[in-house]
Structure 1
């Protein structure tokens, strides 16, 4: 292998590490708004579920699983969530499945976590919960899968008619960047940046990503709108959940 090829591989690794560092910094904000959907569903429906005695029991089982997870007993938490998913009432089995997938991801079992989210996406009648499952699976696959894996799950969500297009566009752009598809990544980030409904937090992240790509020389010039998202080179506001 020539020295030129060696230096090129090192440079590519450094680029990936820098973008991954940005991604890990902003990841909680990327999916924060999406995860809020689950909380809103639970709050909206929780009272009617709780008025039913069986749902009240399911609620207690769910919180018991949360307590086990917080105490570090993940095996017990997974067992409790499996039982709730199988026998629970109301919307609690779905919440249990989401929590189980998250715990699997926390344990580093990415493959099973993605499979759990895929199962949720394939079985959900609620379109918002289905989209959330797809986004969470794609979120894991940005670092642990291929561009094709990410596109298969959120390609249809990164379109103009999707309410989740901004989060999906960000995840898709990151996957494209990781795959070396820099022109496609730039287009994905600019599409989110130029979305009139995009909030300042996600616009700031797009400006960060595009500035990083500009500094690396993988894009020709920064988009004009990137200047609107920053003030004197600094973010206009701290990133916030969309």
Structure 2
């Protein structure tokens, strides 16, 4: 009896499977087609992205080649013109090249004395959720360096606070600028505490440690 029941159950399962296949087979085939189309589309899109990135790299290098060759010999007008060209390029460039182009343009504007334009670009990159976090933080750091004395110290300190955390790669540079804002406020005690910390921080770049030691020598007179 058990065998008969097993056979009947098997037949019923088979009939249900056939019925389901007839009922939903079209949908399953359509789904498979969509998956295959999706895979093909993804491959095509990846190829398109690679070509766009290659094109962007060529354009970026062409725009910056003259500036790189001349180094610090660019005139303010040349720096501004290159920055404007980079702005135009960034408007339609892939995300990574857009960010790098805007950072480079900001540096050129700053070198030409156009700090308003530079600050606008640094702030834009820092607030761009699509940009790499390291580049966003770098933009904040560059903004802070140039904002010293021109922006309220409390504003600079607030924007630098996340970067000053031990886990941030830029923490020593952020703390160095924070120490300078304390000096600007006339709070030599907090400034000395930060410089002392930086001077003995093995994870800080050598330049930061050396500058901290120099500032401590001056403050301790």
Measure, in 2, the Cα distance between the counterparts of 1:192 and 1:106.
28
User: Which residue in the other structure is 1:168 paired with?
Assistant: 174
Measure, in 2, the Cα distance between the counterparts of 1:85 and 1:106.
19
Structure 1, gaps ≥5 residues long? 1-47, 216-242
Measure, in 2, the Cα distance between the counterparts of 1:66 and 1:117.
18
Question: How many residues of Structure 1 are paired with residues of Structure 2 in the alignment?
Answer: 168
Larger mean Cα displacement after TM superposition, 51-60 or 118-127: 51-60
User: Which residue in the other structure is 1:20 paired with?
Assistant: none
User: Which residue in the other structure is 1:139 paired with?
Assistant: 145
Q: TM-score, normalization: structure 1?
A: 0.62
Q: TM-score, normalization: structure 2?
A: 0.67
1:21-41 deviation per Cα after TM superposition (whole angstroms, max 9, x unaligned): xxxxxxxxxxxxxxxxxxxxx
User: Which residue in the other structure is 2:112 paired with?
Assistant: 107
Measure, in 1, the Cα distance between the counterparts of 2:140 and 2:93.
23
Shift of 1:101: 0.9
Shift of 1:167: 0.6
Within the candidate set 151, 154, 170, 2:157 is matched to 151
Shift of 1:116: 1.2
Matched position secondary structure for 1:98: helix
Matched position secondary structure for 1:108: coil
| Contact kept in structure 2, 1:84 and 1:96, CA below 8 Å | yes
User: Which residue in the other structure is 1:128 paired with?
Assistant: 134
Shift of 1:56: 2.4
* Matched ranges for 1:41-190 at <5 A: 52-69=50-67, 70=70, 72=75, 73-89=78-94, 91-125=96-130, 126-190=132-196
Matched position secondary structure for 2:127: helix
Q: By percentage of residues, which structure has more helix?
A: 2
Q: CA RMSD in A?
A: 2.5
Shift of 1:184: 1.3
